[in-house]
A and B are shown apart, each in its own frame.
Chain A
Amino acid sequence: MKQHEVGLLAAKHWFNDLRSSETRLLIIATLLAALSMSMISSFSDRLSRTMHYRASELIAGDVTLYSTRELSSNYISYAESLGLETTTALGFSTMAFANDQLQLVRVRSVQANYPLKGYNQVADGFYGDENTKSELLAASPEPGTVWAEERILQKLNINLGDTIEVGNAVFKVTRILQQDADRSGSLFSPFGRMLMAYDDVPSTGVVNQGSRIFYKQYYTGNESQLSNFVDWLKPQLNKADRLAGIEESQNNVGNALQKAQQYLSLASLISVLLAAVAIALCAKRYSERHYNTAALLRCLGASSAQVRNLFMYKLIFTAILGAVIGAILGFVLHFILLQTVADILPKDLMPARALPVLISLVCAALVLILIALAPILNLNQVSPVRVLRRELAPQSVKANVFFVLAVGIMLALAYLLSGSIMLSVVFVVGLAVLLLVYGVLSSLLLKGLVKVQDKLPKVLRVGLTQLDRHQYYARSQVAAFAFIFTSVALIWLVRGDLFDDWQQQVPKDTPNHFAINILPEKKAEFAQALQDKGLATSDFYPMVRGRLTHINAVNVNEIYPEDEGPNALKRELNLTWSTTLTKDEAIEAGDWFDATSVSENAISVESELARRLNLNLGDSITFNIAGSDIVTKVKNFRSVKWENFRPNFYVVFADGVLNDFHHTYINSFYLPPSESRWLIDMNQQFKAITIIEIEQILKQVREILAQTSVAVEAILALVLVCAMVLMFATLLSTLSLRKHEAALYRTFGASEGMIRGRIRSEYITLALVASVLAIASFEVISLALYVFIFDVSWRAHFSLWLGIPALALASILISGFWANRDVLKASPRQLLQDIS
């Protein structure tokens, strides 16, 4: 018989096999693995490409180089020779003059092709005015014109279309700048920002006057061009230069998205793992059901190579069918997923690609083939004598090689889905070990329970006897169920925590304005103005600027030579004092200030900074404030929620230490957009105070969080479907055994009720034992996840200690009785017929 004839024969047999539940389940499990991968990777491929694009929009290019020294034009010419697109900007602070009033402004002068990526958000009127339309422009001001932030116009009391003097030149203000395409400037600068044409700078004459200048170059291009360029550029940079790619542009939106992406990939990884375990169980059962076929084929004269090839072909057909349907379905579903969240997704989403679908297809097929290979290869070890003596089972093929291979492919998959080596290794190796540990632990647990069964309630006693009788199946069932419930609990938990995290980040009344530079003597008046307007405001936080100079009397320049220390050491810090913690702060170590704190100059340090500076409680830290040194003592470490859109500080002093230094106040408040005209009066009334509007940023954050939440819900549903399939695979794997037993019981005269009772006892016991394992491993894994990956503090989840057993009991009993409905209804004769 020739090879292609074996293939044809295999095709014919496989077609007939499609009627059997093992083959169907194998196909469904493969299909789900492919579907999950294809849907999530297509979805997140587009989302992450879009987000990547969006993130590069936030810095107006893919890579930027910022410096306080003049940047060589060689950089530009080399970048362009590599095919990169470039643009150059010059920034400086200067006085703007209009209407007999002066105002300090920050100017960014840009070339005509600025921004390379992203948009300047501009408006044709004041914020909140009825007719004001804002738009996104991938353009920069014409020569002779400037775009200025609203607060500049308000301070100078001018309107759009009026002129403004900068140095020797006069410019017409043609648009209100709401957001500069390059967001890298400090949000909390007291001075408004202005965009100007690059070629207009010389005419102002201000750049020669020794004002502080920064130089910036922007580059875009494809990844290899960029990395070539960065490799070439890096050695030439000095301390004054700061090279930034989009990876470095960390902000709260970026954080939330990153977490959501990690979550999505984690969840799809878990769904693939669930499918893989289902495959493993089905493959084993498939193989056992085909011992006879293999023996008969051998008996009829097929060589062992032919038997192997026949089953290999069938396996490949199964893999292809499941993977192709799954990958295509996943691709279709990703469109539906996108459709349902279309309103909150960026309009200019990157187009779909075939690549993730193809990769998913190949991977799912490989997962099936590698996992099912060992049991299938077992089939050509079947002795032909089995046709005469049914009980002869083949010796197991050494599965280690395939196990390693399967772990390898899962690793590759994990990397593909998460893009993080760390996450992949932790997950795949962790879960592989976990499954083995489950196997061992479940048999120990069952053995232990059998020993003390006299003390257990009757249900468990009957169940245990039943499980003890089929130890192998009992072990694998407990392990599979524990795995299911651990996975579902993990996905559930992480989802909840993400949502909480996001909800807390931007609650409805999140302040959308900051007021800074409030002098102590104006504080009461300003507070009164806010109160008269009926606005909810935060506390007023005092603010003193100071530089951290010594730690335990050692100069920080000696501790961190070569400018290597944390950023906090390189600039002046905003220091404050307080008698209480805010609700988003918590003491991590030490105690909050007490009566003696003032006398010992006690301070509270943000815990992350403390860690980076290697601080201990009781260390002395010296600050230089307005020329004089003040030595302080670290009283406690404090966690801070940086993303809460409220003023936050690295260092808080005990009330009374700093009060005599020059200080101003900062506060935040919520002003409904419709009321924003009022800001013009405020800006006029409080000339020195700077009011910063962050409504646009909040809106953006809310939109992105909403869109990610939907994606997170969708993947949860997918994980649940995979868990159900694994559950059925597990239950089906013992079905023939159960039929056999039921038949025997029935012939001995057992009633249907009695068989039902036995099955119920067995499932209740299974559910409880699996729950115990699931809870234990869930807590261990969540601890590892929180500490090492999501970087969140951990506590035990007592609600799930009840939730998991409840879920386990309900789901196992319901699906168990459903899977066993034939067993319960059938007559003993039917059952015996089914078995043979």
Chain B
Amino acid sequence: MIKVENLCKSLSLGEQTLNILTDVNLNVTAGETLAIVGKSGSGKSTLLSLLAGLDQATSGHIYIQDKDLSAMDEDGRAAMRKQHVGFVFQNFQLLPHLSALDNVMLPLELSGESQAKRVAIDWLTKVGLGERLDHQPNQLSGGEQQRVAIARAFACSPDILFADEPTGNLDEHTGEMIEDLLFDLNAQLNTTLVLVTHDETLAQRCQRQVHLLDGKLIEHQNDTQSRSN
């Protein structure tokens, strides 16, 4: 599903060059759930943005379903995201003046879905917000906003879901409920999940964990239950 070869990302800040990622290699198979773990500032979000084609690598290749992202232009990558990718963010990223329903409808409308409204209502009902369709983000709690975001992410039935610290802005209890929801839906739809977090317990819920340290990826062959499931 995702294949990463010799990926490097560096930024030039004036005179200096900042190497954020050096020689990252990674393989994610279809249906797999993967956690990328690392300290704050270790480059997790950077890696995620490269995998999702939001940003361009300095060198190396990323293949999504055998298509080379680095060979595409911005609009090509956008088309790829529209077709294959869903997102859940730490700070929810809902549009402030739109209702929950309109927020969920947005990606459906962008991909030309004729049944956008029906699909969006279905998904909001699935995440338990069937009664809150017309509420705006500022009328919803953090947990509820993240539910809307999850409904939005799954509404397009993506092949891959990227999640960047999805519980980072939530209290522990709400965070767990969101985790449950995320993994439940993921299991139901058999979506490939790439999750970025600094939270080890959350990472443990994934089948596989990789660690980012000084811009390098270290694969953990996990001794726990996960792989065999």
Contacts and interface: CB of A to CB of B under 8 A. Distances in A.
Interface in A1-57: 1-2, 5, 9, 12-13, 16-17, 19-20
A776 to B, nearest CB: 39
Nearest to B83: A301
Given A296-B93, A303-B79, A9 B109 contact: yes
Contacts of B164: 388
Contact of A387 (B78, B89, B111): B89
B184 interface: no
Contacts of B91: 836
A491 to B, nearest CB: 37
A573 to B, nearest CB: 76
Interface in B88-122: 89, 91, 93, 95, 97-99, 102, 106-107, 109-112
A387 B87 CA distance: 10
B45 interface: yes
A289 to B, nearest CB: 9
Tell me what chain A mostly uses at the interface: helix, strand, loop, or mixed. Answer: helix
Contacts of A1: 109-112
Contacts of B106: 297, 300
B93 A385 contact: no
A385 B55 contact: yes
A298 B82 CA distance: 9
A16 B98 contact: yes
B48 interface: yes
Contacts of A825: none
Interface in B52-106: 52, 54-55, 74-75, 78-83, 85, 87, 89, 91, 93, 95, 97-99, 102, 106
B79 A387 contact: no
Contact of B75 (A299, A304, A387): A304
Interface in B116-134: none
A664 interface: no
A306 interface: yes
A19 B137 CA distance: 14
A189 to B, nearest CB: 76
B49 interface: yes
A20 B138 CA distance: 13
A651 B164 CA distance: 91
Contact of A389 (B45, B52, B79): B45
B102 A12 contact: yes
A297 B95 CA distance: 10
- The interface size bin for chain B is 20 to 34
A384 B109 contact: no
Interface in A279-324: 292-293, 296-306
A300 B81 contact: yes
A383 interface: yes
A302 B110 contact: yes
Contact of A385 (B54, B78, B80, B97): B54
B97 A387 contact: no
Given A301-B82, A384-B54, A836-B91, A13 B49 contact: no
A2 B111 CA distance: 10
Interface in A819-835: 833
A301 B111 contact: yes
Contacts of A301: 78-83, 85, 107, 110-111
A300 B89 contact: no
A302 B77 CA distance: 10
Contact of B49 (A300, A302, A303, A385): A385
A388 B45 contact: yes
Contact of B54 (A2, A292, A293, A299): A299
A5 B109 contact: yes
A299 B87 contact: yes
Contacts of A296: 93, 95
Contacts of B99: 16
Contact of B97 (A2, A19, A306, A836): A19
Nearest to B112: A1
Nearest to A302: B110
A67 B224 CA distance: 116
Nearest to B90: A388
Nearest to B92: A836
A297 B89 CA distance: 14
B40 to A, nearest CB: 13
Nearest to A833: B138
B111 A16 contact: no
B228 to A, nearest CB: 33
Interface in A354-381: none
Contacts of B111: 1, 301
Interface string A525-567: 0000000000000000000000000000000000000000000
Contacts of A293: 95
A288 B38 CA distance: 32
Given A1-B109, A5-B112, A303 B81 contact: no
A5 B48 CA distance: 31
B220 to A, nearest CB: 24
A13 B98 contact: yes
A321 B49 CA distance: 39
A383 B55 contact: yes
Interface string B190-208: 0000000000000000000
B78 A298 contact: yes
Given A299-B93, A302-B82, 9 more contacts: A1-B109, A1-B112, A297-B106, A300-B106, A303-B79, A304-B74, A388-B164, A389-B45, A389-B49
> Which A-B residue pairs are the 6 nearest by beta carbons?
A301-B82, A16-B97, A301-B81, A384-B54, A300-B107, A303-B75
Interface of B: 45, 48-49, 52, 54-55, 74-75, 78-83, 85, 87, 89, 91, 93, 95, 97-99, 102, 106-107, 109-112, 138, 164
10 contacts: A9-B110, A12-B102, A13-B98, A16-B98, A296-B93, A298-B74, A300-B106, A301-B79, A301-B81, A302-B82
